[in-house]
Structure 1
Amino acid sequence: MTQQGHAVREVVVGVDGSDEARRALTWALCEARLRGTAVRAVTVWVGHRPPDDADGADRSGSVARFEADAVAGMRADADAAARATGTTAVPVVPEVRYGHPARTLIEVAGADGLLVVGSRGLGGLHGRLVGSVGQQCAQYADGPVVVVRGDSPAAGADAGGRVVVGVDGSADSVTAARFAAAEARLRGAQLHVVHGWIDTVSGYGGPLWAVPDTTLQEEAGATLQQSLRAAGLDRPGDLRVRAEAVQGVELDVLVDVAGGADLLVVGSRGRSGWAGLLLGSVGLHCVTAAPCPVAVVR
């Protein structure tokens, strides 16, 4: 795959025995099959020692048993997911690590791995829609991160569905559009490019007649076309592309349009969002509210 398509060394998935992690593992297996690569399933025990080694004593036997049990659990989950999705040929490498979960997963994935996490794992903050690990990975990872949301993450993974990407003219959104195009090609899916726009004058910066609505709509169309050109999607090719400018707040527009999609792709930070955040408000809203898996592309 070309660099613009984000060549992936391997698919790295964080697992912890939760249902959300199993869905993430299922999605990772389907993605790895499409990409022709392996899955590295990683469980991270918080801290620097396994649970039976809390006092630092030499308990190599108990440590080995703990790790063997963890690996066996990962293999069992992977085997079950592979049988259910027909991905038994995908190599799975289970791995046990110790340390900070999000930091460790980001380190394992690196810049050339695709990191996959569940929407909320056992170690997450239970009062939140997205666990702290998933949110931190989406915020700080060096490469693309997929937060698996929805009840059936593997549905349509190679069934010719739809991949949605939000664009706003920023460099991040152009990168996201290229990644989304590669994902759509892998699936034989339609690429749905969406630009959300609102009347930023009426009711906030001036009277209703300050800027004609047609002008704002024309500007939105121009931004959409500019994004398509920058991503190389404005020419006929092997990809079915649907592009539209939709009136509404961008974060709400993307979540609405993503209904029934295989994947929603967003840039790590668009023109909006706070300068101090690596993940803008639109991306953060999508990973907490979208009805399907969300890819955050740096």
Structure 2
Amino acid sequence: MSEKYLIGVDGSEQSRVALAWGLARATERGAAVELLHVADDSFLSESVAFLSEAQEASEQMLQGETEYARSLGFEGRISGTAVVGHPIAEVEEASRHADLLVLGAHGGSRFAGSFFGTRAVKAAATAHCPVAVVPKHEPGTGVVVGVDGSEASQRAIAFAAEEASLRGAPLIAVYAWMPPLTPGLEYLWSEELVESQRAAAEEAIAIGVAGLAERYPDLEIRREIVQSPPVAALVQAAEHAELLVVGSRGRGGISRLLLGSVSHGVLQALPCPVIVTRA
């Protein structure tokens, strides 16, 4: 069974950047595409007439974006859903039946159907599938993945390795560490402390990438150990990359709303397209 990509649309330039990215990926992977437009009902009257008009406007927006998708040359399977409701709730429900959710990125929109900017962070926290947030960017090289030894990181590495292999790009595994001391007191760091931190980092990366060489014989794996806060390290490493992959620790229930400081931080910076993997 082929994959299905759910792509949020609202007619904005940022949305169309993500749409083009998602369609290109779907073409490469033979995936089906579903476009989703949500007319936010938060500020709408609850009268039947207003809601009916909002639904009609949502359907018109969806039709226009479907035609735009075809104008880009996409020849694969494409469907669409236009709804009136709470954007995050509607996206979460729709993501139950998708293999990847693709969203544009900007700080806000005049369109009632927009669920981007900070809402993209919320969507990434609540979605039931991996989420790609795509900014306007120059094509780069390499797939960067954050490594920290956690189960979430292990899932991100597996996802990133497959991405890098399919793209014929190097996998750049980044482990960022900071000694557990107050900044400015670096002179108190002992050589033993620094060496133990580096050893732990090297072990975490070694465990994280174990088995990848056998599974992907042609995959180039680069290991980077950086003495820096994780978000800063990943953003810098991905500045000229084609993709950054990070893991989410959400495991269901209320904990799914806690995206994690690293995932949240890179989604705010967006040095390149970012995919947040799910449990």
For the criterion TM > 0.5, the same-fold answer is yes
Given candidates 223, 226, 238, the residue that maps to 1:243 is 223
SS at match of 1:103: helix
The one-letter amino acid paired with 1:227 is G
Conserved? CA contact 1:14–1:118, under 8 Å? yes
Task: Find the partner of 1:77 among 60, 68, 72.
Answer: 68
RMSD (Å) for aligned C-alpha atoms:
3.1
TM-score, normalization by structure 1: 0.79
| Equivalent in the alignment of 1:4 | none
Q: Which residue of 1 aligns with 2:149?
A: 169
State the Cα distance separating 1:103 from its structure 2 match: 1.6
Q: How far did 1:207 drift? A: 2.7
SS of the residue corresponding to residue 200 of structure 1 reads coil
- Match of 1:3? none
Distance in 2 (CA, whole Å) between partners of 1:93 and 1:249 is: 42
Q: Distance in 2 between matches of 1:105 and 1:198?
A: 36
2:4 maps to which residue? 10
Q: 1:202 to 1:189 in 2, by over 3 A?
A: same
Change (3 A) 1:8 1:134: farther
State the alpha-carbon separation in 2 of the partners of residues 247 and 58 from structure 1.
Answer: 55
Q: What CA distance in whole angstroms lies between the structure 1 residues aligned with 2:20 and 2:228? A: 34
Distance in 1 (CA, whole Å) between partners of 2:54 and 2:223 is: 54
1:26 Cα shift? 0.8
Deviation at 1:213, TM superposition (A): 2.2
Say whether 1:34 aligns with 2:28: yes
Partner of 2:128: 142
Q: Distance in 2 between matches of 1:92 and 1:224?
A: 39
> How far has the Cα of 1:286 moved from its partner?
0.3
Distance 1:27 1:168 in 2: 28
Higher helix residue share = 2
Give the TM-score, by structure 2 length.
0.84
Are 1:228 and 2:209 an aligned pair? Answer: yes
Q: Does 1:296 align with 2:273?
A: no
1:283 alignment counterpart:
263
Given the superposition, is the C-alpha separation of residues 67 and 141 from structure 1 closer, same or farther in structure 2, using an over 3 Å criterion? closer
In structure 2, runs of 5+ residues without a counterpart are: none
Contact kept? 2:101, 2:129, Cα under 8 Å: yes
Matches within 5 A, 1:57-206: 57=49, 66=57, 68-80=59-71, 82-83=72-73, 88-110=74-96, 112-120=98-106, 122=109, 131-152=117-138, 155=139, 161-201=141-181
CA deviations over 1:142-171 (Å, ceiling 9, x no partner): 11001112334xx46xxxx31110010000
Q: Does 1:219 align with 2:200?
A: yes
8 Å CA contact 1:269–1:283 kept in 2: the answer is no
**What residue identity is the alignment partner of 1:283?**
S
Shift in Å, 1:108: 1.1
1:269 aligns with 2:249: yes
Query: Aligned residue pairs: how many?
Result: 268
**SS in structure 1 opposite 2:264?**
helix
Deviation at 1:68, TM superposition (A): 4.7
**Aligned-pair identity (%):** 35
Q: Give yes or no for contact 2:133–2:275 (8 Å, CA) kept in 1.
A: yes
Give the C-alpha shift of residue 241 in structure 1. 1.5
| Displacement of 1:210 | 7.0
The aligned amino acid for 1:208 is W
| 8 A contact 1:106–1:115 mirrored in 2 | no
